[in-house]
Chains A and B, each alone.
Chain A
Amino acid sequence: MKIVGMDTSYQYLNIALLDEGYVDGCMVSCFKQQSEWMIPKWKELMDRNGWNPKEIDGIVVTQGPGSYTGVRIAMTVAKMVASSIGCKLYTVSSLQLLAGNCDHAIAVMDARGKRAYVGEYKNGKAMKEDCILTLEELLAYVNANPDVTVVGDGHLVGKEDVFGNMPKQFDLLRSEWKEVTDIDDLCPKYLKDNDEYLVNV
């Protein structure tokens, strides 16, 4: 089973080639350049491992939350591959990918506007729904859980930033992949509503 993992939801472009286990991957820091780098980097990995894109069995993609434009990049690629070659499609949360299979983690991603996307994961399993919190709420939440590791943008709560080997983490989360039944229906989870944009009109 040849599976390709893709994530462009935040500042990295993460791509993983997975077969029985982890085969190869890349984690490139290219915030706002993911659209340009996505296909060349993927192609490089595929060629290096002698994989043909028409022969893959599935794609696992992050569904958000994260940068709006970023989340849409990998998702567009994933939907087009799955719908044009008819392979399987799976999703994981981008916060879940950040947490990987860490014993117990609070995954944090800067959502700008003094807010953060936050998820809590135990060995890859969601302890609560991903959500968006103000930085004050986040700090209170982290302080109330002193034994839980903070991964991602730790600096938002005065801790270190922690970004693990995200391509590999796709593999560690295998049991958590959600299969997409209707590829056309799949869309990102932004956690912020459309109606927010009414004010801009």
Chain B
Amino acid sequence: MKDVYLLAIESSCDETAASVVKNGDTIVSSIVSSQIDVHKRFGGVVPEVASRIHVENVSWVIREAMEQADMKYSDLDGICVTQGPGLIGSLHVGVQAAKTLAYVHDLPLIPVHHISGHIYANQFVDPITYPMLALVVSGGHTELVWMKEEYSFEIIGTTQDDAVGEAYDKVARVLGLPYPGGPQIDRLAKEGTNRYPLPKPHTENPTDFSFSGLKSAVIQSLQRLERRNEELNKADMACSFQEAALGELWNRVEYALNEYKPAHFVIAGGVAANSRLRQLITENMKAYPDITYTIPPLKYCTDNAAMIGASGYHAYTKGIFASEDLGAKPSLDLEQVGKF
């Protein structure tokens, strides 16, 4: 079969990214322009500011991806773009850029779900086998996704309140750590011990998650220490919180592995970059020698466009194309992906 080259564009949150991907599993080029330094000033992502920076970045990021790949538009087979979910103003810029390029260069336009991209980033490491279970963990998502076959997504567990990355950011804030909080807690936890008792969250469904109780427990614990005039050991609190949060993730994964018996298990999303989570998964998966498991490279855990090209390849082979009136969808439903 002829090689398939796709240009992918991602702008759903605070990274403007473009990438050329070959056959869904080989990265030819990948450019990511992060806005993190700007948003640090604001202590979080400010949607209007993010949209403004996307417009400033969009043309050079895409041109750079094409130049690094040493490709002309006539060498491409299609343009993939994140249609959602994400910040509406941010999504608009990428979607508009993709529609323009598809029209001007007469290429098929391929709409991609951001989370499907995170999941398929694992394709850069291992070929995916089905059925597959994916743990999606990021600032906006905490989901267990069941894929009985290629490009079919069923959400079997989700958070009842905060996403795990969100809980990390909030706890980091109360501990006085700078934004973004996740990597800070991960780093600090290495110097601490798990000695502050924190509760186990309860959910009706054994594959669902809940993190707001854990976050409140950390706050209460800090208040208690203050009342007793006891000194807070930040590293110990970071470690206690991280062990509790990641322990909860693993409990749900373990239940799903036993119940659903996938052939392949992957983790995906920004929190998949967490060093303790990676270690925990590697240790615990020793008990499941029959299940292939994949952890994406650090670079492809956080938002990038290569992952959109990886997922877009499946849409391309299935003939899932969009017309030029494609609109950005801030709350695009993962379960509708691949369905007509």
Contacts and interface: CB of A to CB of B under 8 A. Distances in A.
Contact of B325 (A36, A54, A183): A36
Nearest to B326: A36
B48 A38 contact: no
B104 A81 contact: yes
Contacts of B101: 80, 84
Interface residues of A, number: 35
Interface string B34-77: 00000000111010110110011011101100000000010000
Contacts of B44: 201
B328 interface: yes
Given A37-B325, A39-B324, A68 B51 contact: yes
Given A35-B92, A36-B327, A43 B103 contact: yes
Given A80-B101, A84-B104, A35 B328 contact: yes
Contacts of B89: 68-69, 72
Contact of A38 (B52, B73, B96): B96
25 contacts: A35-B95, A39-B99, A39-B100, A40-B324, A53-B103, A68-B52, A69-B51, A72-B55, A72-B93, A76-B58, A76-B96, A76-B100, A77-B96, A79-B55, A79-B58, A79-B97, A80-B101, A80-B104, A81-B104, A184-B60, A188-B52, A194-B49, A198-B46, A200-B46, A201-B46
B97 A76 contact: yes
A180 to B, nearest CB: 11
Interface in A49-65: 53-54
Interface string B84-111: 0000110011011101110111000000
Given A72-B93, A80-B59, A197 B100 contact: no
B103 A187 contact: no
A139 to B, nearest CB: 28
Contact of A69 (B43, B59, B92, B103): B92
B42 A73 contact: no
A53 B99 CA distance: 13
Chain A interface mostly = helix
Interface string A63-107: 000001100110111011111110000000000000000000000
B55 A187 contact: yes
A82 to B, nearest CB: 8
A40 B103 CA distance: 9
Interface size range of chain B in the complex: 35 or more
> Which of A36, A53, A54 has the largest count of B CB atoms less than 10 A from its CB?
A36
Contact of B100 (A69, A81, A184, A194): A81
A167 B38 CA distance: 37
Contacts of A68: 48, 51-52, 89
Contacts of A198: 42, 46
Contact of B59 (A183, A190, A201): A183
A183 B57 CA distance: 11
In order of increasing CB-CB distance, the 7 nearest A-B pairs are: A39-B324, A83-B59, A184-B60, A76-B96, A80-B100, A79-B59, A53-B104
A197 B96 contact: no
Nearest to A46: B103
Interface string B179-222: 00000000000000000000000000000000000000000000
Interface in A144-162: none
Contacts of A187: 52, 55-56
A53 B100 CA distance: 10
A3 B44 CA distance: 41
A85 B100 CA distance: 11
A73 B48 CA distance: 14
B325 A40 contact: yes
A39 B52 contact: no
Contact of B48 (A35, A76, A197): A197
Contacts of B93: 72, 76
A53 B63 CA distance: 18
Nearest to A56: B104
Nearest to B44: A201
A71 B319 CA distance: 33
> Which of B49, B55, B105, B327 has the largest count of A CB atoms less than 10 A from its CB?
B55
Nearest to B51: A72
Contacts of B326: 36
A116 to B, nearest CB: 20
Given A43-B324, A80-B97, A201-B44, A72 B105 contact: no
